[in-house]
């Protein structure tokens, strides 16, 4: 996974955390994300942080594609 950035909200919904991951392809995303979610270390950390109550109230997943004029293309 390539972490492209992390943000907190200055104005708007409180306690919102946003992060952006970059992938070379949808196939890479699907393979690496499914591997990550089944990693024993991740499962143990998730289980521990969620044992008393959910840490996250809402998750939104958006897939983006750069425009032709983006500096990423």
Distance CA 63, CA 65 (A): 7
> What number is the average pLDDT over the span 30-51?
95
CA dihedral of 64, 1, 34, 51, whole degrees rounded to 10: -100
The residue ranges of every structural domain in the chain are: 24-51
Closest by CA position to 16, among listed 48, 52, 57, 49: 57
Q: What pLDDT does residue 56 have?
A: 86
Residue with tokens 């289980």: 47
Model confidence pLDDT, tens digit, residues 54-72: 988 888 999 988 899 988 7
Q: What pLDDT does residue 73 have?
A: 61
**Average pLDDT, whole number, for the chain?**
90
Q: What pLDDT does residue 15 have?
A: 80
């Amino acid at each position: 996974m390539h972490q492209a950035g992390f943000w907190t909200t200055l104005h708007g919904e409180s306690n919102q955390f946003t992060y952006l991951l970059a992938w070379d392809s949808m196939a890479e995303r699907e393979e690496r994300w499914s591997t990550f979610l089944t990693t024993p270390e991740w499962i143990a950390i998730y289980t521990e942080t969620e044992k008393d109550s959910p840490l996250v109230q809402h998750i939104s997943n958006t897939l983006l594609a750069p425009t032709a004029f983006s500096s990423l293309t």
